[in-house]
Amino acid sequence: MAGRDKSSRQLEVSVTEDYKEPMTFEEKRQLSLNINKMPANHLNMIVHIVRINEPPLKDSPADEIEIEFDSLKASTLRALEKYVNNVLLEVYGPNTSEIRQ
């Protein structure tokens, strides 16, 4: 893994672990809120996570996609949740109310 940045390593872990527990409505709502709090330079990774986990969106030509949480697999949502929470912890620190899990 030499030469990879920290966010690449986190993404690799996130998408290879098995997340099968469905998200509740409240968890999806919180994920959406947390994504909106993310720094702009991390949003491309959100698109990347969705594309690699959702085959119908893999070849989508746009740099931006509209994410409909109800249509995503539980594993995709959990990978997004983990990545977003990790980024927000780095940005805001562990003692923040910005992140609710």
Q: Give me the residue spans of the domains in the chain.
A: 6-92
Q: Are 19 and 78 within 8 A, CB to CB?
A: yes
Q: How many CB atoms sit inside 10 A of residue 67's CB?
A: 19
Task: Provide the mean pLDDT of the chain.
Answer: 78
Q: Which residues, other chains included, contact 33 with Cβ-Cβ below 8 Å and sequence gap of 6+? A: none
Q: In the structure encoding, which two tokens stand for residue 70, read together?
A: 């109800």
> 48 versus 29: which is more confidently predicted?
29
Q: In the structure encoding, which two tokens stand for residue 63, read together?
A: 């740099």
- Model confidence band, residue 101 (pLDDT cutoffs 50, 70, 90): low
Amino acid at 64: E
Comparing CA positions, the residue from 33, 16, 6, 4 lying closest to residue 78 is 16
CATH no. of 6-92: 1.20.1270.220
> 17 versus 41: which is more confidently predicted?
41
Q: Is it the case that residue 59 has pLDDT exceeding 70?
A: no
Q: Are 93 and 55 within 8 A, CB to CB?
A: no
Q: Provide the pLDDT for residue 98.
A: 59
